[in-house]
Every structure is written in structure tokens, then in C-alpha cells.
Structure 1
Amino acid sequence: MTTQSAPRLKGKRNRLDKPELLAPAGNLEKLKFAVHYGADAVYIGGQKYGLRSNADNFSFEEMKEGVEFAARYGAKVFVATNIYAHNEDIDGLETYLQELERAGIAAIIAADPIIIETAQRVAPKLEVHLSTQQSTLNWQAVKFWKDEGLPRVVLAREASLEEIAEIKAHVDIEIEAFIHGAMCSSFSGRCVLSNHFTDRDSNRGGCCQSCRWKYDIYEDDLQMVGMDADQFTMGSKDLCMLEHIPDLIEVGVDSFKIEGRMKSLHYVATVVNAYRQAIDSYMADPEHYELKQVWLDDIRKAANRPLNTGFFYDTPGAEDHIYQPEDKAAPYDFAGVVLSYDEAAGTAVIQQRNHFKPGQEIEFFGPHGTFFKQTVGDLADTDGNALDAARHPLQHIVMRVNAPVKPMDMMRKRIR
């Protein structure tokens, strides 16, 4: 991971006294875990107008349930409506936005002016946040959108800390920035490779991740270069700003956005938990803040690509891209979710999410201090029948645990 440092960049903090931690939620379960593990807000996709058409997008009924769950934690739900619309996409837009408003959604994230204008006109209780798809990088563009009535701008991933400081100095508006997750090889996600290769429109929700494919290299005369060489990809390393929380807060970023609506439940919970602890620790005592190694270790347990700091400190170079096939093997794999704990017996009921068996090293973690390692001992089903392994998806497993656990704590197994 890149570990650059920079002089403290003092932006003009406006609107939010404490930065919001904004997490992705590809489905209702992920929404609940993201909020439970510390997200102040989550962003989701509905069944139209979003850029993740392959995600488990939300029905209006699921949105209502998600909003009600989030409200119990004081959290908000945003909906991505960030496609660039074609003529045929406009039919039904007004009704869709009004349904979002009725479901209790706090804001939409939009890029297309017609979606922005329509929301302001027909669903005035919905805040409109400008999507990163608008590639906003300068304070005058930010001011333009503020004058159009938008309370928040999601900056392009290409924005540096210095540029953010200048924006905050000139415009009294909330600034949201991606601080963790996948980066795009194209400018702010405006890619047409997917369209060209597969006829799937990246800017209408169909990106096929073609930058992550394996390619062969050819010279002009169509002779392959290095017949015995490995194939290569052209994807970028993932963004991680966990080591630079003070810089992000002091420059004035209002909302820390984690990428990953297509990511796993384990990934969402792990990343949110690490950033939640870091943000809270800094805000509690900025003068004595200290980055903890355990937070970085947790990130690496969920990361599936090498990490860097994106454009925040400098322009990424060749070393910030992935040219060889990716080694995606994190050292731990998601194994189960705690359903209940019997203090008297010292046992927990675990909902199986991946195969595990006696003798394996496992680790429990949760948002309220749960963290310990142990070796899996005897296993049984809920009828008391002994098991030689937890083989079946979502099976309820009874096992002894070495310390107290809580519902929604997670269990992961060491795989290397």
C-alpha cells in the first residue's frame, strides 16, 4: 500500500461537524450489516436508473424496510440514479422518483440534468447529490451545482487533496469523496470499452469490467510479444485512505464514500468497521490520534487487490496499475454469522456462509469490541447431532466459542 504523507491541508469545514461514513449496500442484508457495523449512511440501487444493473437491486418494499432499519441507528439511505439517460429511459421517471420519496429515501445520487431537474420538481423531499459521473474537479463547477440547488457534490476520483481544499475554501457545500475501493482505468468511470467489447453500456449500468480481463500484447505486425509471457490486465490498484484519515478530515471532506455495491457482506462489514474505528478515534482526540495496525490488518483480510492512495497526493503512475493477473487471495475467508450466544454453555449458533471444520483457525469480529481467534472444536447441528464439518450453505451450527459473541458478529477462517 502506498504510504505517502502530506502537510496538513486546512480546508474550510462547512455543514458537517463530523464526516459521514457512507457505505455500499448491494442488497438488504448488506444494508443492515453496513449500518450495524458503523455506517452513517448507505447507498443502494433501485431497479431502474442505476449503474449496477447486475447487483441485487432493491424493490420499493425492500427500500422501506432498509430505511426503517437504518433509522433505528440514526442512519440514512441514498439511492443511485446515476445513469446517463437515453430518450427511452425517461418514461416513468417521475413516478419512480416519487416512489423513492414515499419510501423515505433521504437522497438520490444523480448525474443527468433531466433526472436532477425532475427530482427537484416532483419529489422535493429528496435531496439530490451530484454523482461522481459528472467528473467535477473545480470549485466553479461545484458552485454551479450549488446554485442549481444541490446540497452535495460527489467529486471525481481524480480530485486531489489540494483541489478539495480550494473547493471548500470557495463554496459552502457538502463534499463527498471516494476513500476506499475500486478505481476505474477511464476518467471518472466514463468508459466505452464495455460497450465496444460486449455491447453492454457502462454508463447505463452494464459495465463488464473489461479493464480486468486478461490480454495478450501484439506488435504492429500482429506478432505476439513474448509468446511465453503472462497475459496482462490494465486495471488500477484499489484505493485505500485508511492511513490518511486526518488529512481527509482536516481538508474538509464531509462524506467518506466506500465503493463496492457488488462486494461481499464480509467485505462491507470489515471495511466499514475499520474506517468507523479510525474516524471515531481521530474525532475523539485529534492531537493524540494514532493509526492502529489492527485496522490495516483488517482491511487486508478483505482486500482482493493491491492498494494505493489514488489521486489524493499525486497522479498515479505505472506502479499504481495491475499489469499481471491479480492475486485475489485474501488471507481469510468469510465463514459464518453469529445468530445467538448461550453464555451458560459458552456456545454460539453460527449461520454457515462457507465451509469450515474442526481444527481450522478462525477469527470472530464485530462492531462492539468482539475480536478474538480460536481453533474450531466440535460441531453439531441444532438438534445436537455431531458434524464433521459445516458443509451446507446457511446451515445453523452450534459450536463452543472462547469468548462472548453477539448476534451479527462475523466469523472468518484463515485460508493461508
Structure 2
Amino acid sequence: MHKVELLAEAFNLNSLKLNIENGCDAVYIGDELKNFSIGELKKSVEYAHNRDKKVYVSLNKIPHENDINEIKKYIKSLIDTGIDAIVVIEPGILNIVRDVCKNITIHLSDQANVTNYETAIFWYNQGVKRVIVSKELSCEEIGQIRLKSPIDMEIEALAHGALFISHSGRKLLSNFLTGKKANKDKMINSKKYSLVEEKRPGKYFPVYEDERGTFLFNTEDLCMIEYIPDLIKCGITSLRIDGKMKDEKYVAAAIKAYRKAIDTFYSEPNAWKFDPIWLEDLNKLNNRNFTSGFYLDNPNKEE
């Protein structure tokens, strides 16, 4: 049986160290190193590699024409840092990474919406080593992608964190309410909003806005710690803990809980039992309800 990777988001150098100390196998850094200088990234990679851990850098940006030169410079700056992979979101960035960093491992973001094996194989043939599958898939569907894809193609999936199911890429509310163009690095509107479904009064779905855009119809946080065997057995290579809207202490606590659950499974796969203490530890730091998302039920399966 393959050994699944436990992956978690790092917000800064201290966060990265905390994640590794609590048991993750790899960390990913997003937002174009907002809290990391190139020097700090090198130190982070050295710290991780000395402990047999990996570091990935995410490029979840859909570029416009005037972004290309800056993106090329940024990617070139990553060459000598020693990172283990770059996560891309679209074909143009993929081309740039292949041209600039010829030997770097490439992962494909979940925002590229891989929902079937044909799409996964297409990206694999373009040089993508790992596909991060869409959050809308069930374990059954992921298992089919695993079964029908090349054996050395890795599959990553979200195990814990915020479920953003609609992403605009623009700060819609800030623009509309102020009549001003939102700055890429600064929020215009600090007010908070929620959406309410007609048939469920009192059930609020918060609207989040940050530097990446507006997030509508966010559900409860995903939590799959009760179903670790299901995730591993469907062929997932890497289980990701997402830290959006959380702090580094929350991410570290989640890593610790999932590490225990995963290690317990591998020690006795046939006798694995969920320990409620793992969930209790997560609930202590969480202010939103948990959900298993689409994993346990295939929404596309015909009755």
C-alpha cells in the first residue's frame, strides 16, 4: 500500500517550521511568497530538506498580458532556491515554467478543475507530475481517475479546510459598493456580508473577500479525519490541509490530528478506528461547522 503524503500550507518561515514539527511531510507556499523573501525561501527549503520534507510553491494566478514579464522574473528567482515543485493553474504559466525551470517538478492547481481521467492524462502528457483534483469529486470518482491514469501520475486532494466552490477573481462587493477599482494588494471594503438561503432562514453562508478575490456560497469547512481509510484506499497520493481564513496555530493543530489518524491507519489498516479525540482537538480551534463535502456521495451518479 502506498504511503500518503500529509501536506499543509505555510504562511511564513515560523509557520513552516511549526508545520514540520507537528508532522507534515510537505508544505506549500502560496500568494507569490507574500511573507517569504527569496532568502527566507532558501532557508525554508534547507530546513525542510534536512528533515526529509518537501517544499512546493504555488502560482495560482491567471495572468493578463502585462503580468507575463513579472511572472517570468519571479519564476527565474525560484530556480536556485531548491524547491521541490511549482504549482501552476493554466497553460501559459505551465509553458513559462517548462522553459525557465526545465527540471522542476510541476503540479496542477485544483483551480484548473480536473474532474476526470481524460483531463488528468492530458495534463500529465504536458509534463504535469501531480494533478490536484477538484473539490467536487467523490472518493469513487477519484478512484476511477487513479485506476485509468498513469501509475506515476500523483493525485492530490483537499482533506481539511475551507471549501471555496465559487471564485470570481475580482473583489465584486468592494467594486460595486464603492464605485472604485479594488487595489490588488489592499481591500477597499472591510464590511462583512453573508448570504441566506430562502428555505433555510438563519443559515448564513459568509461572503469572503481577500487579495485573491470574492468567495461566494462557502460551505462549512471540510473535515475528513473520520474517513482517512476512504481517502487512502481511493489512491490519493497527497492529502492537503488548507489554511485559508485560519492562523498558523490552527493549521499546526490540524496537522497533528491528521498525523495521528494517518499513522494509526498504517500501523493497523484492517483494525483502524476513528478516535473522537482527534475531532475534539480540531473543534477547539474551529468556529465553523464541519462537512465531508462530496467525498462520500457522488453527486454525478445516476440513481
| TM category, shorter | 0.7 to 0.9
SS of 2:78 mapped into structure 1 = helix
More helix by share: 2
Is 1:90 matched up with 2:68? Answer: yes
Is 1:156 matched up with 2:134? Answer: yes
CA distance in 2, matches of 1:31, 1:307: 25
Query: Could you tell me which residue of structure 2 aligns to residue 295 of structure 1?
Result: 278
Query: Could you tell me which residue of structure 2 aligns to residue 25 of structure 1?
Result: 10
SS of 2:147 mapped into structure 1 = helix
Query: Could you tell me which residue of structure 1 aligns to residue 119 of structure 2?
Result: 141
In the superposition, the TM-score normalised over structure 1's length comes to: 0.62
Moved more, 307-316 or 295-304: 307-316
CA contact (8 A) 2:174 2:189 kept: no
- Count the aligned residue pairs: 280
Describe the shift of the 1:145–1:251 C-alpha distance in structure 2 as closer, same or farther (beyond 3 A): same
**How far does the alpha carbon of each residue in 1:176-223 deviate from its partner, in whole angstroms, 9 at most, with x for none?**
00110001141xxx325633543559xx8889999x7235899xxxxx
**How far does the alpha carbon of each residue in 1:144-166 deviate from its partner, in whole angstroms, 9 at most, with x for none?**
00111111000111111111011
CA distance in 1, matches of 2:295, 2:103: 33
Of 124, 139, 156, the residue aligned with 1:176 is: 156
Describe the shift of the 1:209–1:191 C-alpha distance in structure 2 as closer, same or farther (beyond 3 A): farther
**How far does the alpha carbon of each residue in 1:15-55 deviate from its partner, in whole angstroms, 9 at most, with x for none?**
xx21100001111111110011011000012547xxxxxxx
Is 1:243 matched up with 2:226? Answer: yes
1:263 is displaced (CA, Å) by 2.1
The equivalences for 1:333-352 within 5 A come to none
Identity of aligned residues (%): 37
Describe the shift of the 1:230–1:144 C-alpha distance in structure 2 as closer, same or farther (beyond 3 A): closer
SS of 2:39 mapped into structure 1 = helix
CA distance in 2, matches of 1:258, 1:292: 19
CA distance in 2, matches of 1:243, 1:131: 25
CA contact (8 A) 1:46 1:59 kept: no
Describe the shift of the 1:207–1:277 C-alpha distance in structure 2 as closer, same or farther (beyond 3 A): farther
CA contact (8 A) 2:161 2:244 kept: no
Describe the shift of the 1:230–1:208 C-alpha distance in structure 2 as closer, same or farther (beyond 3 A): farther
Is 1:42 matched up with 2:20? Answer: no
Is 1:283 matched up with 2:266? Answer: yes
- The amino acid across from 1:251 in the alignment is C
CA contact (8 A) 2:30 2:60 kept: no
1:141 is displaced (CA, Å) by 0.2
Describe the shift of the 1:217–1:76 C-alpha distance in structure 2 as closer, same or farther (beyond 3 A): closer
Query: Could you tell me which residue of structure 2 aligns to residue 124 of structure 1?
Result: 102
CA distance in 2, matches of 1:106, 1:304: 34
CA distance in 1, matches of 2:159, 2:278: 15
Q: Provide structure 1 residue ranges, at least 5 long, that are not aligned to the other structure.
A: 1-12, 49-55, 219-225, 317-416
Is 1:272 matched up with 2:250? Answer: no
CA distance in 2, matches of 1:254, 1:271: 19
In the superposition, the TM-score normalised over structure 2's length comes to: 0.84
Describe the shift of the 1:193–1:47 C-alpha distance in structure 2 as closer, same or farther (beyond 3 A): closer
Of 23, 43, 60, the residue aligned with 2:38 is: 60
Query: Could you tell me which residue of structure 2 aligns to residue 214 of structure 1?
Result: 194
1:119 is displaced (CA, Å) by 0.8
**How far does the alpha carbon of each residue in 1:337-392 deviate from its partner, in whole angstroms, 9 at most, with x for none?**
xxxxxxxxxxxxxxxxxxxxxxxxxxxxxxxxxxxxxxxxxxxxxxxxxxxxxxxx
